[in-house]
Structure formats: C-alpha cells, structure tokens
C-alpha cells in the first residue's frame, strides 16, 4: 500500500541462484541510494528444479512490510520456460518490466503493454567462462540495463565479493556481457 517502494520479484528454479542474484542487487542498490532495502525469500517445500521466487523491495525509507510481493514493478525470470509453466507475471503493474533469460527476442513476447528485456544469459554466461546453466550473475546485467536502478560498477563489485573463490571474474564478465546484449522491447 506504500507507493515509495519499488518491488522486484525474482523467479527461478530451486538451485538456480535467484536468491543470490537478488541479494547481490540488494547490496548494490543499498549503496547507490536505497537505504531501505529488504530481500525476502519465500520458502515452500521446493527442491532443485522446482519454481521458486524471492521478493526484493527498495525504498529511500525504512521498509516494515516483509510479506511477499503481490504487485511487482519488475519481474526477473531466470528461466524463460517458467513463463509458460505458470502465471509468474501475475500482479505485475501496468507498464511493468519483465527481465527474462531467453534465447528469443523481446518481440516474441506479448504481455499487454509490459516492457520486455530479453537476453540469452545461458549462452552469454557460458561464453564468459561459467559452467552451462549458471545464470544468476549474468541476469543481473540485464536487470541493470533495463531497470537503471543501479550502476554496473557497483554491481560488478558486489558480484565479485559474493563469488569470492567461485570464479568472481567470470561471474562479473557474465553480467557485463549480458548488459551489452540485452534487448529491450515489448508490445
């Protein structure tokens, strides 16, 4: 019910790292002007591969409501197949943004006036030196380009800190590459 909160819902599969991606963005946006930030994962009985989501809320003021996001401004989708499996864009505000890891161009999607930012993160991250299927660092680049909520320098730093000892440079490069190749469109 508060209008000052930017609400971003992250959808992925169990084990895909949606929570880690949202955590990295939380840390970066906190540094670049959102002292009110909370990231609230929703836990069910999911196992690896099952659809999962987490709620990231940003504000200049303190956030008290930790309930899951019902009406997001932005939806981030780590696996485009989720768009077909269930109604994950449910509640997205009119004119909202969908950031999606997909091999298809944004024109391939029609979400009634929603903006679609598309990037083949799976391919780009692999090209950056990450194992096949690791997309949670790469998707952050697409998010940054489409949302303009934080700058890439801060994100790169946050990514490298998060992945210390786990290919920090490659993860950062995946985000940079994805930023470069993200196409924004939509009908």
Nearer to another protein, 2 or 93 (CB): 2
Pattern 53-82, another protein, x by CB under 8 A: ----------xxxxxx-x------------
Piece of the chain touching another protein by CB under 8 A; list 19-27, 72-80, 133-141, 167-175: 19-27
Q: How far is the CB of 112 from another protein (least distance, A)?
A: 24
Please report, as residue ranges, which positions from 110 to 169 form the binding site for another protein (by CB under 8 A). none
What is the nearest approach in angstroms of another protein to the Cβ of residue 68? 7
Binding of another protein at residue 23 (CB under 8 A)? yes
Triad 160, 17, 112: Cα angle to 5°:
110
Applying CB under 8 A, which residues contact another protein?
A: 1-2, 23, 26-27, 30, 35, 37-41, 43, 63-68, 70
């Amino acid at each position: 019910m508060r209008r000052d909160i930017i609400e971003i819902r992250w959808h992925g599969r169990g084990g895909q790292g949606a929570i880690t991606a949202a955590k990295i963005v939380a840390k970066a946006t906190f540094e670049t002007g959102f002292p009110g930030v909370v990231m609230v994962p929703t836990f069910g009985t999911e196992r690896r591969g099952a659809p999962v989501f987490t709620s990231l809320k940003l504000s200049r003021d303190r956030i008290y409501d930790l309930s899951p996001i019902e009406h997001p401004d932005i939806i981030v989708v780590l696996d485009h197949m989720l768009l077909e499996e269930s109604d994950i864009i449910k509640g997205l505000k009119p004119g909202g943004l969908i950031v999606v890891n997909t091999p298809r161009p944004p024109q391939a999607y029609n979400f009634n006036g929603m903006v679609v930012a598309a990037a083949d993160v799976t391919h780009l991250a692999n090209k950056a030196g990450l194992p096949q299927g690791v997309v949670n660092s790469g998707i952050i680049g697409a998010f940054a380009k489409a949302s303009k909520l934080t700058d890439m320098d801060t994100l790169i730093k946050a990514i490298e800190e998060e992945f210390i000892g786990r290919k920090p440079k490659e993860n950062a490069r995946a985000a940079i590459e994805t930023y470069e190749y993200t196409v924004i469109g939509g009908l």
